[in-house]
Amino acid sequence: MRVPHQPDPPDASAPEDADIETSSDAYARRFSGTVGRWFLDVQAATTLALLRHLPAGASVLDVGGGHAQLAPALLGAGFEVTVVGSDPSCAGRLAPWLEQDRCRFEVANLRALPFPTGAFEAVLCFRLLPHSVAWTDLVGELSRVARRSVVLDYPSQRSVNVVADRLFRFKQRVEGNTRRYRIFDPREVRSAFTRRGFEVMDERPQFLFPMVLHRGIGNATVSRLVEAPPRLLGLTHLLGSPVILRADRRVAPS
């Protein structure tokens, strides 16, 4: 059976440049207002919780992180942050931190990163995997340059995404610039890391209900109230999405 909401198979030879869209001001407007701020707060808090095992001042690479959704929180937590994007335009939203020399930005092929194996304590990748032209290659490169951990997000099949096709038109009306994206079976993501000597240590789904529904509600207080019971009952952990995952290296980098 065809998985709902899957795009046509991409051309694996195409450049990995979906971060150009996610680094744009237009994309950032999808996270404006109280609901958007709540989304980003949940994402940042979850990510920082997954990075608590790292020492103070650890080096972190944010692949495709020109959206600047995580860089400020990472810097605030004391990490040494490098962001890599597929195009110079991806640095625009990072300007306040780049101008103060608080973080670095580099342009690179996201599937052939210009860093040695194990160059960073942790590697992050958000808003990119569902739009990747070759997601397993991307996971391989994230894993290669991570000395200890990889943290990324992905939309899960084990969620209301099973009816994503029916929600897509509503999502387009609410968000305006939404794109079709790949939805993942958690087992295939775990397998991709296992093949590279990593083990998934933690998976934290963020919301039980679709983010587009919360955008439609337009009230963060109401959304928090709606999400609280399933979170307390453990339903969010079982059926929530997007999932933020942390995989740790089990095989020493060569």
Q: Where are the domains of the chain?
A: 19-249
CATH placement of domain 19-249: 3.40.50.150
Give me the chain's average pLDDT, please.
90
Torsion of CA 76, 205, 236, 39, to 10 degrees: 50
H or E segment to which residue 124 belongs: strand 120-125
Which is more confidently placed, 139 or 13?
A: 139
Is the peptide bond prior to 7 cis by the omega test (within 30 degrees of 0)?
no
The pLDDT value given to residue 253: 74
Instruction: Please check the confidence at residue 180 and state whether its pLDDT lies above 80.
Output: no
| pLDDT tens digits for range 105-114 | 999 999 999 9
Query: pLDDT (tens digit, 9 = 90+) per residue, 81-112?
Result: 999 999 999 999 999 999 999 999 999 999 99
Look at the alpha carbons of 200, 192, 103, 93 in this order and tell me if their dihedral is positive or negative.
negative
pLDDT tens-digit readout, 45-67: 999 999 999 998 999 999 999 99
User: Nearest to residue 209, comparing CAs of 232, 188, 231?
Assistant: 231
Contacts of 145 (CB under 8 A, 6+ apart): 61, 113, 115, 116, 117, 118, 119, 120, 123
Are residues 11 and 134 in contact, defined by beta-carbon separation less than 8 angstroms? no
Phi, psi of 195 (to 5 degrees): -65, -15
